[in-house]
Amino acid sequence: MRKRRLGSGGLEVSALGLGCMGMSFGYGPAADKREMIALIRAAVESGVTFFDTAEAYGPFLNEELVGEALAPFRGKVVIATKFGFKFGPNGEQLGLDSRPEHIRQVADASLKRLRVDSIDLFYQHRVDTEVPIEDVAGAVKDLIREGKVKHFGLSEAGAQTIRRAHAVQPVTALQSEYSLWWRKPEEQVMPTLGELGIGFVPFSPLGKGFLTGKIDEKTSFDKSDFRNIVPRFTPEARKANQVFVDFLTGFANRKNASPAQIALAWLLARKPWIVPIPGTTKRNRLEENLGAVDIGLTAEDLRDIDEAASKIPVEGERYPERLEQLTGR
């Protein structure tokens, strides 16, 4: 597995990471724990060294899963987790909370669940407008000084927030949605990252599964699958967006690859400091995704993809309005 560096602080990770959220949360009922532990360990055996989780995934279940699965590989892998939400007694989400004292509480709890002595990469999950970002960055800076955290990250933050945070504590990576059918980060965020030397970790690099070609207008999701509330995933939107997958499939056939592999290879070709984190609960999909690292897209390939994609309108927003309001701040 090829390696890439995130940020200027020397954090080296595999060119593709593994997003672990869907194993416990978001895409239907939690998968079998033993099977997911085996899958995570299979990823390590295949060269993956970068694993993404968060206290909010469950909540807490995913951190516990990742901690158990990666316990035998302590010091050999990089685990990223996140802070920034508060929860009720039954795990219900009660909004944002990035107060410094809460960040410290989350760090201590995450360390225990992940079974590590230091959190490799600690992201603010969403920008909390009630707490100055300088206070957030300062709190993480203190945790880094104490050895509880190694690197600071932000998720779905806007360019100005990134600059303000970076001035207090260097930001190693920004995690945000980015894929062939969600390219807004190219407008302001990516130029800012390039200027400041910050890595980019795209989540949902396969469009929440749609770019794999395995979802169409007839696909039904479990009642607990959050795609049920995503405008881009209404049956009507999926029908309209099929033309995007058809284009991707046609291009993939030319390269003897799958649509998912081309979508990931395209991201890897954008910048050397981009590390996508596709998620899966299936061993064959893990192997398929990892195959993207070995697909070389030429400058001509990239031009062809960009030209074709620019002519295909995408139907539906990526989030409901209330969730979109938490991004880009």
Q: What is the CATH number of the domain that holds 180?
A: 3.20.20.100
Closest C-alpha to 135, from 121, 146, 124: 124
Percent of the chain with pLDDT over 90: 99
Domain membership of residue 231 (yes or no) is yes
Residue with tokens 């899963």: 65
The total number of structural domains that make up the chain = 1
pLDDT per position as a tens digit, 251-300: 999 999 999 999 999 999 999 999 999 999 999 999 999 999 999 899 99
Annotated active-site residue in 57, 123, 178, 319: 57
- Domain assignment of residue 329, yes or no: no
CA quadruple 85, 183, 324, 245: dihedral positive or negative?
A: negative
Question: 250 lies in a domain?
Answer: yes
Active site residue 27: no
Position 308 scores a pLDDT of 95
- Domain span at residue 93? 3-324
Please write the tens of the pLDDT for every residue from 179-196: 999 999 999 999 999 999
Its pTM surpasses 0.75: yes
By C-alpha distance, which of 71, 62, 5 is closest to 30? 62
Per-residue pLDDT band for 84 (boundaries 50, 70, 90) equals: very high
Q: Which residues contact 196 (CB under 8 A, 6 or more apart)?
A: 162, 163, 166, 171
pLDDT at 65: 98
